[in-house]
Amino acid sequence: MGRVGSSYDNALAESFWQGLKRETMHKRLFSTMRQARLEIFEWLTYYNARRRHSALDYLSPVEFEQQHLRAAKLTIAA
């Protein structure tokens, strides 16, 4: 979702969208638009905070950030 013609950017975006579709919408019928939006919002919250990512050594973004902050504090203290 960055540069035009970059296959790496496209692969990242495609992975994100297939995850959203597979984990939230596959074989589901929402009764209202509000329900669909709520389900997607909940998935996005999960994806952005708690879901483990291979690019982060299989840590969740929250865990990765906590490790990073701890390492930065140790560096400053040393």
36 falls within a domain: yes
pLDDT at 63: 92
List the chain pLDDT tens, one digit each, 78 residues.
566 766 667 777 888 889 899 998 888 899 999 999 999 999 999 888 888 888 889 999 899 999 989 888 877 765
Domain that holds residue 50: 7-77
31 falls within a domain: yes
pLDDT at 71: 87
2 falls within a domain: no
pLDDT at 32: 96
**Helix 61-77 vs helix 33-49: crossing angle, to nearest 10:** 30
CA angle 49, 51, 54 (to 5 degrees): 115
1 falls within a domain: no
63 falls within a domain: yes
Specify the number of domains making up the chain. 1
